[in-house]
A and B are shown apart, each in its own frame.
Chain A
């Protein structure tokens, strides 16, 4: 029998943007088991909810993650609005959808860059981030913040986008689409990329379903779950098709994300065409009394905010379940049996967001 050794991976590793620690149990070069440990950047957001007014906690909820920050803020706001029976104006719903989809573009482009970096394709990494810069510029022009937007509030949104600006954003997306076509062409057709990602980290459909894989990790294995289809915000009024693939390897997860970039662009352009004029917020009086389980689709998968209030301006409980937490069991399944050299590619393929996970 081959002698087993344990190789630590992380929390500080060149391929990891955030700290997660994996103990890789190796037999020669083959990974036979993985022991994950998290807890390096726990900040206690869920406890902080008892100390901040529910209207101010939006800014805290938004800072749970530095990439899908807008969707965190929006999910929290939708939860509180559901408890308080607040009807959000239609324009605010459309604006929330537009910013959510820009977040998805920004997150997927960031991930494509990091993924290219994980197999050592530096040139591709920089090109992905060059396109992402244009998305961040739109965020800064419309919300004032590049990464933390801070535009969602309970009862609507804090800032409107002028119709001329919306038209300009829509035409800019046409040129961004061309750049993304060139970029995704390399990811999907280049031999060096295929060589590093095909049949690497395979997760079968059954495993994905039973281990609770969410988002592109689940959809890459053929589990057709997309929370946007439930029709929150303005998604119910827009047409889009869910992207799935059946192979379940790192290439499939990359393919799903590449195709989602185009569906996000389509969604933004549809929303810009359909957005009605009108108010962007309603006045909020009173305090939430009750509980709600709010779900939304983040770039990485299903996000859950559980919110409970007791009629005072301080909430009693907030629980956040982020997509990476759901995807860690799938990650362990993928890593078992792989080669040591493929570990960075597989870890990156679930798009880990550890700050989110530890809250």
Chain B
């Protein structure tokens, strides 16, 4: 008899709680590793532009003269390649997704990193 194979599963799902959540009233599930969006800290950025070269979707632009770092969220595929390769650790992955937008735009951040002054050279004994 193959008529009532589904009955057990159907009854179980009727009696149990819904498998879905009432998003956005309940927050979406997130884990520590969730790739939400790339966050940037301008005070640590040394303007090496490795993130620009390593971005597979060419979403990042760095302007050394204007001291700005910009990201196009519509191009970014959140692969976290820039985060892994950043030598100064100024990029990190936030677990929250970015909100919807009505028009295309880029996010521009100012680079506020100040190169620490080199320690003065000690006078050599002969001079």
Contact across chains for B33 and A124 when beta carbons are under 8 A apart: no
B contacts, CB < 8 Å to A: 2-3, 5-6, 8-10, 13, 19, 29, 31, 33-35, 53-56, 77-81, 84, 93
Can you pick out 28 interface pairs between chain A and chain B where the beta carbons lie within 8 Å of each other? A53-B53, A53-B54, A56-B54, A56-B56, A59-B56, A59-B81, A60-B56, A63-B77, A123-B13, A124-B6, A133-B19, A137-B29, A140-B31, A140-B33, A145-B35, A148-B77, A148-B79, A150-B79, A159-B33, A182-B9, A183-B9, A189-B2, A189-B5, A190-B2, A190-B6, A191-B3, A192-B2, A194-B2
With an 8 A cutoff between CB atoms, is A75 at the interface? no
Query: What's the least CB distance linking A148 to chain B, in Å?
Result: 8
Query: What's the least CB distance linking A114 to chain B, in Å?
Result: 17
Contact across chains for A59 and B6 when beta carbons are under 8 A apart: no
The docked-state distance in angstroms from the alpha carbon of A143 to that of B35 is 9
Collect the chain B residues with CB atoms within 8 Å of residue A13's CB: none
The docked-state distance in angstroms from the alpha carbon of A157 to that of B31 is 19
Q: Return the CB mask of A119-136 against B: 1 if under 8 Å, else 0.
A: 000011001001001000
The docked-state distance in angstroms from the alpha carbon of A142 to that of B33 is 7
Collect the chain A residues with CB atoms within 8 Å of residue B93's CB: 144
Contact across chains for B33 and A143 when beta carbons are under 8 A apart: yes
Contact across chains for B2 and A140 when beta carbons are under 8 A apart: no
Interface bin, chain A:
20 to 34
Collect the chain B residues with CB atoms within 8 Å of residue A130's CB: 13, 19
A contacts, CB < 8 Å to B: 52-53, 55-57, 59-60, 63, 123-124, 127, 130, 133, 137, 140-145, 148, 150, 158-159, 182-183, 185-186, 189-192, 194
Collect the chain A residues with CB atoms within 8 Å of residue B8's CB: 182
Collect the chain A residues with CB atoms within 8 Å of residue B84's CB: 158
Contact across chains for A144 and B31 when beta carbons are under 8 A apart: yes
Collect the chain B residues with CB atoms within 8 Å of residue A59's CB: 56, 77, 79, 81
Identity of the chain B residue whose Cβ is nearest the Cβ of A143 in the assembled complex? B33
Query: What's the least CB distance linking B76 to chain A, in Å?
Result: 11
Contact across chains for A123 and B6 when beta carbons are under 8 A apart: yes
> Given A150-B80, A183-B9, A194-B2, are A144 and B56 neighbors across the interface (CB < 8 Å)?
no
Collect the chain B residues with CB atoms within 8 Å of residue A182's CB: 8-9
* Option from B13, B29, B35, B79 in Cβ contact (under 8 Å) with A127: B13
> Given A56-B81, A130-B19, are A186 and B6 neighbors across the interface (CB < 8 Å)?
yes
The docked-state distance in angstroms from the alpha carbon of A140 to that of B78 is 14
Identity of the chain B residue whose Cβ is nearest the Cβ of A62 in the assembled complex? B79
The docked-state distance in angstroms from the alpha carbon of A63 to that of B78 is 12
Identity of the chain B residue whose Cβ is nearest the Cβ of A57 in the assembled complex? B56
Collect the chain B residues with CB atoms within 8 Å of residue A148's CB: 77, 79
> Given A56-B54, A60-B56, are A144 and B80 neighbors across the interface (CB < 8 Å)?
yes
Contact across chains for A52 and B56 when beta carbons are under 8 A apart: yes
The docked-state distance in angstroms from the alpha carbon of A150 to that of B53 is 18
Collect the chain A residues with CB atoms within 8 Å of residue B33's CB: 140-144, 159
